[in-house]
Structure 1
Amino acid sequence: MTTEHSAPSALPVVVVGAGPIGLASAANLVSRGIRTVVLEAGAHAGAAISDWGHVSLFSPWRYSIDPVGRELLERTDWVSPDAEILPTGADLVREYLQPLAATAELAPVIHYNSRVIGMSRQGIDSTKTIGRERRPLLVRVDSPDGVYDILASAIIDASGTWCHNNPIGASGLPATGETEASAWLTGPLPDVLGRDRARFAGKHTLVIGMGHSAANTLLALAELRESDPATEITWAIRGRSARRLYGGGAADELPGRGALGTRLKAAVESGAITLLTDFTVTELTPQPDGRLTVTSSNPDGDHSVTVDALAAATGFRPDIGILRELHLSLDPVLEAPIELAPLIDPNVHSCGTVEPHGASVLAHPEKNVYIVGMKSYGRAPTFLMATGYEQVRSVVAAIAGDAESAGRVNLMLPESGVCCSTGGGC
């Protein structure tokens, strides 16, 4: 690792993140004989996933393992999981990511506890346009050994969006009192039936959100309520209908995803979960009795609910601050690569399908810089791992100069069973 000038061809490709897509990037790179460095902020591969290890994925193992990663693992004594089983986050880390990170090919190139804090071109900032491509890319890293720079021939940012939550308040901004209410906030995916059980049992929890994170938390609370009937559950959404999250049911080609919506709908209809629609949070107010009042202000008046805990599953947004010195082309709405945004726009699409896309769609004006995985979707919530695996196969081919392979994108995702194109009340 150096900050000295080197010929770009002699420099490594730097991969940011050792989650599923980051490791898939590394597997594709080393399989092509490309020098690789992986920088992971956590202490092990899949560290962010471990935060929600208790949650079951709705994609079975057959969609959750990168093909090139599988090839590396099959050279070891690794035993492939049952293709049709739904792994939990913990299963994914234990049975796939950590064994893949430990392979002879990947173990030497991964650096843990190494947080990327900035990216640029060596010796110039974003205002300089002439001769940029002749300068190596630069990645600044904060590690236990101090802050240092790595020069790179290419960067693949697979750092994801975990820990970069959207605020609870309306208009994309924090609600009044949101910072002061941090003691009541549980995170988007608390372990309701495990380590966090005491925080919810016999108490009133408000869950805010319209995605699968909200659904998982709501269903866990409903299960807790069966053993502790004093547990109270309120679900608040900004829209007028939860139909989009209920999904396609039996028509969904991912049974786990379909079952999630079906079970949630049943819990609401049974009265186990109280659904509040048109609920736009504007203020959070701690009460003298230790509870929290959550207020929604709409043209038809103010409404409020007082609770013991608040699980805000309001989605995530990409951290583009670390990329500020690079020349990116991002959609102003989704903060996704500008050519990808129309393919994934949640205002138009609510199903899990997406048109095939690879390096050409993910490219930026800054040559050899790619954002992949969940972070490539910006604020859109419909990413699937299989999408990311195909992204990085194409991206690595482009970096390697294999234009034919980079342009041959093949992606077949399971239908969700429901796809709304009205942009509104679905």
Structure 2
Amino acid sequence: MTLIDLTTPKPIASRLQGLPVAIIGAGPIGLATAANLTDRGIDFVVLEAGDRIGASVLEWGHIRLFSPWKHLVDPVSRRLLADTGWTEPPADSLPTGAELIERFLTPLAALPAIASRTRFTATVSDVTREGMDRTRTAGRAQAPFLLRVHTPAGIEELTARAVVDASGTYRTPNSLGSSGLDPLGLPEVADLVSHALPDVLGRERAAFAGRHTVVVGAGHSAANTLLNLADLAEQEPGTRITWVIRNATAARVSTSPDDELKARATIGIRVDALVDAGRIELVDRFEIVRLERTVADSAADATAASAGAARITGRRGDGLETIVADRIVNATGFRPNLDMLREIRLELDEIVEAPRRLAPLIDPNLHSCGTVEPHGFAELTQPERDFFIVGMKSYGRAPTFLLATGYEQVRSISAWLAGDQAAARNVELVLPATGVCSTDAAPDAGRGASCCG
């Protein structure tokens, strides 16, 4: 393991003087980073791939979070907004993703100090050091970071004194295949596969109404989609639901009655009741190996005959079984996009792809969302000095992230960048008690949906 000096912040090298901190992503954690840097008087630039604040959150904006507002507002952001007369939502109410954007992220992003430094449709494809690939060491810490950014006007390069990668993982889902690879034949049926958390009761209703949908995954993204599909089935005759998991049980959805996040505690109970009532067909121990396009082969699937359907072949027990569906929802969880960081020196856990010092604290075989220890810059430091992965992406493939955890991460990092060693090291975090994850969930580690609250 590379030895890194964490004793004290180093003075800013002359080549770095006057350069901003680059923040990748304008979601909750990216904007909280901006708020904390604003509070510290540190210049920054926010680079958002989407055309608006919280673009990824908006894709699942119809979903209600299971954390109440009191766990969803960054403390420094709250203070900055309070000075503008902002009215904080009721502490114990549960917002949807869209309400999180409307009532918190949008006002925060509108603060002049943040709005003037935010760029949209600016996709970061690569991060490196100016004039240095990852193999060159001499003078590395004094070289500015170089970010290659794709915009509607073309490709440009920006320099920065530090980089905070808060780009999240929503746009990089895990594979439908249990091997971690895409199933054979996926391109043939790609138009029939939906991302996690489709809006089946709203803008995507027509694609699911009266159709047979297979939901793949054993976490909360799968559970939320199953519940919405069950509501759709009550309204639209012919709507059928099959739930496919690769293990014997969906342990990550089964929540302890002691869970302080009561909305989360009820999700598993409601899904189990629908399975018991026969409204959702559960197919367990099913490992997808191949997908192919086929003409719908039952009356219930006839509405999709013109477009064909997906034949899902999976290994179950000692043999192969098939399921024919009009739609497939990939709710198998998420993974970090590391391609953009190919020239950055990283130490990542070999299993969950989280920063190596953080990984033992978030191991989904041992920890739930609420049992993660407070952590900050020290656990997130990389061999590449002043480069940090934060938020959902910092958890790699572990499905236990809560926004409150990310807020403490970026508070600590901002203090470190400001040279305030005491504040950087004084990490404190109180999370709601939970019983979501357990050591019994080991076979599904890394494949459940995130605790997006």
- Specify the TM-score bucket, using the shorter chain as the normaliser: over 0.9
Q: Contact 1:240–1:425 (CA<8 Å) still a contact in 2?
A: no
Structure 2 residue 59 is matched with structure 1 residue 41: no
> Paired residue for 1:256?
263
> Paired residue for 1:275?
282
- Separation of aligned partners in 1, 2:157 and 2:380: 25
Q: Contact 1:215–1:260 (CA<8 Å) still a contact in 2?
A: yes
Structure 2 residue 62 is matched with structure 1 residue 62: no
Structure 2 residue 79 is matched with structure 1 residue 71: yes
> Paired residue for 1:186?
194
Relative to structure 1, the CA distance from residue 332 to residue 295 in structure 2 (aligned partners, 3 Å threshold; closer, same or farther) is same
- Separation of aligned partners in 2, 1:400 and 1:282: 50
> Paired residue for 1:380?
398
Q: Contact 2:253–2:436 (CA<8 Å) still a contact in 1?
A: no
> Counterpart amino acid of 1:117?
S
Deviation at 1:6, TM superposition (A): 6.4
SS at match of 1:56: coil
Q: Contact 2:192–2:328 (CA<8 Å) still a contact in 1?
A: yes
> Paired residue for 2:434?
416
Deviation at 1:420, TM superposition (A): 1.3
- Separation of aligned partners in 1, 2:95 and 2:159: 37
Deviation at 1:195, TM superposition (A): 1.1
Deviation at 1:230, TM superposition (A): 2.2
> Counterpart amino acid of 1:271?
G
- Separation of aligned partners in 2, 1:423 and 1:244: 7
From 175, 200, 210, give the equivalent of 1:202: 210
> Paired residue for 2:148?
140
> Paired residue for 2:422?
404
From 361, 364, 372, give the equivalent of 2:382: 364
Structure 1 residues 21-45: Cα deviation after superposition (integer angstroms, max 9, x where no partner): 0000000001110011111111111
Structure 2 matches for 1:4-153, cutoff 5 A? 7-153=15-161
- Separation of aligned partners in 2, 1:210 and 1:68: 35
Q: Contact 1:241–1:425 (CA<8 Å) still a contact in 2?
A: no
- Separation of aligned partners in 2, 1:30 and 1:108: 12
Deviation at 1:284, TM superposition (A): 0.8
> Paired residue for 1:294?
312
> Paired residue for 2:447?
none
SS at match of 2:106: helix
Structure 2 residue 336 is matched with structure 1 residue 318: yes
Choose 366-375 or 294-303, whichever is displaced more: 294-303
Deviation at 1:246, TM superposition (A): 1.9
> Paired residue for 1:349?
367
- Separation of aligned partners in 1, 2:370 and 2:284: 24
From 212, 221, 243, give the equivalent of 2:251: 243
- Separation of aligned partners in 2, 1:291 and 1:112: 37
Choose 416-425 or 278-287, whichever is displaced more: 416-425
Choose 365-374 or 411-420, whichever is displaced more: 411-420
> Counterpart amino acid of 1:328?
L
> Counterpart amino acid of 2:313?
T
Q: Contact 1:246–1:264 (CA<8 Å) still a contact in 2?
A: no
> Counterpart amino acid of 2:410?
V
SS at match of 1:244: coil
Deviation at 1:77, TM superposition (A): 3.2
Deviation at 1:227, TM superposition (A): 2.0
From 209, 223, 226, give the equivalent of 1:215: 223
SS at match of 2:194: coil
> Counterpart amino acid of 2:274?
A
Structure 2 matches for 1:224-235, cutoff 5 A? 224-235=232-243
Aligned CA RMSD, in angstroms, stands at 1.5
Q: Contact 2:251–2:440 (CA<8 Å) still a contact in 1?
A: no
- Separation of aligned partners in 2, 1:145 and 1:367: 31
Deviation at 1:351, TM superposition (A): 5.0
SS at match of 1:38: strand
Q: Contact 1:168–1:178 (CA<8 Å) still a contact in 2?
A: no
Structure 2 length as normaliser, TM-score? 0.90
Relative to structure 1, the CA distance from residue 425 to residue 163 in structure 2 (aligned partners, 3 Å threshold; closer, same or farther) is closer
Percent identical pairs in the alignment equals 50
Q: Contact 1:205–1:232 (CA<8 Å) still a contact in 2?
A: yes
> Paired residue for 2:181?
173
SS at match of 2:412: helix
Structure 1 residues 253-284: Cα deviation after superposition (integer angstroms, max 9, x where no partner): 01111111221111111111111110100011
> Counterpart amino acid of 1:43?
D
Deviation at 1:151, TM superposition (A): 1.2
| Contiguous gaps of at least 5 residues in structure 2 | 1-12, 297-307, 445-453
